Amino acid sequence: MITPVDHIRATTWHGRKGALKNAFRYSVDYVLLDAEHDGPAPWLFSRKSGLFCGLLDRDHGGPQKRGIGALWVRQVIRDRGLDLDGPVLLLAQPRIWGHVFNPVSFWLLHNRDNELCAVIAEVNNTFGDRHSYLCYHPDLRPITRSDRMHAEKIFHVSPFQPIEGQYEFRFDIQPDKVFIWINLDHPGGGLMANLVGPRRVMRTGDILWSMLRRPFGSRRVLGLIYFQALKLKLKGAIYRDRSAPPQTEVS
């Protein structure tokens, strides 16, 4: 089944746990599409070029800027012996004016009945590193909104959080909305984050409106990340030097 490109006019919220508090909320645009088939899309959106607005294979699935898209996902599930031959959808921020940075993107893997059965959370840091966390039930039953999926944190993301910790994910991907919740726990603190927004078929007007509201795209996201880092530094948060990424791409 060929699906159109969907637009999620989302809001993301982050809150730090522990003695040193910090929280923020901002709006962000995500795109949800079938990563293996080109569905109907507005003329300003491209899968080949991100000059104006687009989502490119090289930005996802593999090392940053050297990705191979859904081919990488299929290899991951083959290596793990997962029987998932349904659609592979990608939820990510698009390139705007040739630039993209996704703190986290999500590969949504389905069975032949089009049920969501696995998610790969593709995490990027500002140092150019990437690591992905694969979430699924051992029996590959569908993931529901009440399920809590867990992964051990082994990748350096924020210099104000230790590498050690435990992630808890919740996913609720509906035809009319997207809700993703992430909780990180570690001794002494952690953080909570969510991504929520209505889902609908992307139209040219959606792109133009988003460009008017957020003309710098992911450059704005990077700016907000550095702004929050400055706030934490001024509040006295401990700064941790970057650690080398894990040897494995996926855990």
Question: Quick one: pLDDT at residue 1?
Answer: 53
pLDDT at 2 over 90: no
Distance CA 220, CA 243 (A): 26
Which segment of 11-20, 120-129, 140-149, 193-202 scores lowest on mean pLDDT? 11-20
The dihedrals phi and psi of 107, each to the nearest 5 degrees, come to -90, 125
Q: Find, among 72, 68, 110, the residue nearest to 89 by Cα.
A: 110
Distance CA 29, CA 7 (A): 7
Q: Give the pLDDT confidence of 87-109 residue by residue, as tens digits.
A: 999 999 999 888 888 999 999 99
The dihedrals phi and psi of 220, each to the nearest 5 degrees, come to -65, -40
The amino acid at 251: S
Q: Give the pLDDT confidence of 16-49 residue by residue, as tens digits.
A: 898 888 888 999 999 999 999 988 888 899 998 7
**Which tokens in the block code for residue 155?**
């990748």
Question: Quick one: pLDDT at residue 41?
Answer: 87
pLDDT class for 227, splitting at 50, 70, 90? Answer: confident
Distance CA 117, CA 124 (A): 23
**Which tokens in the block code for residue 221?**
């996201």
